[in-house]
Structure 1
Amino acid sequence: MYSKKSRAAVLRDLFRNNRVVVAPAAGDALGARMVEDAGFEAVVVSGSSMSNLELGSADVGILSYGELRNNFLNILGATTIPMIVDADTGYGGTLPIRRMVREYEAMDIAGIQIEDQVFPKMCAYYSNTAVVSAEEMVERLRAVFAARLNPDFFVIARTDAAKSLGFDEALRRAQIYRNAGADMIFITVPPKAEDMKRIAALPFPVCTSIVEGTVNEDFTVDQLADMGFKLVKFPQTLIRASMKAMHDALASLRETGGTKAYRDRIATQKERGLYTHIGDFSDFQARIERNSSFTVEE
């Protein structure tokens, strides 16, 4: 019988065996595949990036659960590394959370990041985001753990309270969410770079996101690992690099009427084939053709 270790179990092994895990974020299957091909051992699937890619929209909570789930399936099919997905606020009450956890486990998603924003949510980097009470977030976490069947399924509790209620309240909530059973805590948008050390000093596993244009953009992975962070995410790097590349390519095309001036920044056909694993399909087809001598007897 075919069996394999779950991606959730692989993710827990990574945390046990590594000083820090680095996980760039992707919003589609190509991006996630390129993360894996670049040598990273885990990928985060960003709801913000998915909103940008799927809808051409800002991250304002309008991407449906069904759209997210279908995209996750595509990404899982294109990768083998553990995948941590953005669960936003859980898509409603406790019953939607139950459905989400059960389906994500069945899909072999390694874990989720669930947050304490109000529903529907907004991107934490846009404005002062509203958060629910700590008690309501604990109810979300209780629903996650009650629904969880695979004990390896990893749960990151995220608090966005720092921006609207102050950094001390974010620290208080971090302890509450850890006490509720979260495997790891994520405090978004620390007001000062020095606050990163206060987060890392918390007596339980913590992660952080490096976002270009914020107070923590210049930290390196080694610096963060030395502080004590166990997971470092790069949630916007790929999507924003892609946006800039597309904008600049189109501007050059509009200005020059051709691609010559920009061609050194365009993937070659060979590179495109490598990025999309064309060789896998060719090898599979060749294997089928090698076995084509088999005949069906009446």
Structure 2
Amino acid sequence: MTTSSLAQRLRQPGIVVAPGCHDALGARIYQQAGFEAVYMTGNGLSASLLGAPDIGLLGMSEMVERGRAFAAAVDVPVIADADTGYGNLNNVVRTVRSYEAAGVQAIHLEDQVTPKKCGAMKGLALVSKEEHAEKIRIAVATRKSADFLIIGRSDARIPLGLDEAIARGQAYAAAGADLVLLEMLQSEEEMRRALSAIDAPLMFNAVDGKTPPMNAAQFERLGFRLLSFPISATLAYTHMMQRLAEHIRATGSAFGVPSGSVTIADYESVLGPANIEFANVNSQ
């Protein structure tokens, strides 16, 4: 499988849209829909694997293995949530090496304390910008290839305000981050301020109900280079499962769900079973 390079693509004009999902099936569907990259959501993985909120319960090895599965399932770049790097500087070194070896092409490291919370939650606690900038420096120094991208993420906007979020973005850019992600910017004016003040390409996570309901063309006009909708797929999946559960409970059947479903043939076409080769094992 030949995978395209996210680093090379970002040097070309136009925004890259990398919608988020919590499994390799979703990644394949996004690729087949024509997206140039996919995003592996930590929030959605915590929900799908543990049935639990995103409060730092998943460890580095669990996340890396899912990243490996994503990268093996698609030939577009995979961008992954790497939380806080899962600990101190030594943990960051291991995190970078592991994700890069798994075939993931970019990770973002956030400046929360460990264990972290979803950036949309209340009560976020952050480390100093100096401490996180050092994590970014170590991450950049650790990677084997410059095409493995380090995204410096700050969750400071909600607990500490826009000025502090921008200051942190500047510090992470100065530390060598290939892109900067400021979570939860609340208006186009805030976005313009961040874009003009930070000397690095910016990524944006568009979160349903938490950030302005803008589309890719609007983000591109402002100057963002990378856009994700990190938990939209998981929210849609939750809605679908609730409707399916209600229908089975009410009718005693899984057939005829009002929201509809794909056929087995369509499902198999997504998975591509004809492309999988099975070895013949001859028993003695």
Match of 1:210 among 206, 211, 214: 206
SS of corresponding position for 1:262 = coil
What are the equivalent positions in structure 2 for 1:14-93 lying under 5 Å apart? Answer: 14-93=9-88
Identity over aligned pairs, percent: 34
SS in 2 for 1:201: helix
Could you list the runs of 5+ residues in structure 2 that have no partner in the other structure?
none
How far the C-alpha of 1:46 sits from its partner, in A, is: 1.0
Amino acid across the alignment from 2:116: K
Is 1:148 the equivalent of 2:111?
no
TM-score normalised per structure 1: 0.88
Post-superposition Cα deviations, 1:115-164, rounded to whole Å, max 9, x if no partner, equal 10111100011113111001110111122022112121111100001111
Moved more, 71-80 or 256-265: 256-265
Cα distance per residue 1:54-109 (max 9 Å; x no partner): 11111010111121122122212211111111111001111111112122222221
Deviations 1:245-273 (A, max 9, x none): 01111111212222344166112111111
Residue in 2 that maps onto 1:250: 245
Q: CA deviation at 1:192?
A: 3.6
Which sits farther off after the overlay, 101-110 or 233-242?
A: 101-110
Q: Which residue of 1 aligns with 2:179?
A: 184
Aligned to 1:294: none
Letter in 2 for 1:35: Y
Aligned to 1:151, the other structure's residue is in SS state coil
Alignment of 1:96-135 (within 5 A): 96-135=91-130
Aligned residue type for 1:188 = E
Residue identity opposite 1:237 in structure 2: S
Q: Alpha carbons of 1:232 and 1:135: their partners in 2 closer, same or farther (altered >3 Å)?
A: same
Q: 1:207 aligns to what SS in structure 2? A: strand
Query: Contact 2:80–2:107 at 8 Å: present in 1 too?
Result: yes
Return the alpha-carbon distance in structure 1 between the equivalents of residues 51 and 75 of structure 2. 27
Q: How does 1:231-242 map to 2 (within 5 A)?
A: 231-242=226-237
Relative to structure 1, is the Cα distance of residues 278 and 56 closer, same or farther in structure 2, using a 3 angstrom cutoff? same
* Equivalent residue, structure 2, for 1:295: none
After superposition, the Cα gap between the structure-2 partners of 1:193 and 1:251, relative to the gap in structure 1 and judged at 3 Å, is farther
Q: Relative to structure 2, which stretch is displaced further, 196-205 or 82-91?
A: 196-205
Instruction: Read off the aligned partner of 1:206 and give its amino acid letter.
Output: L
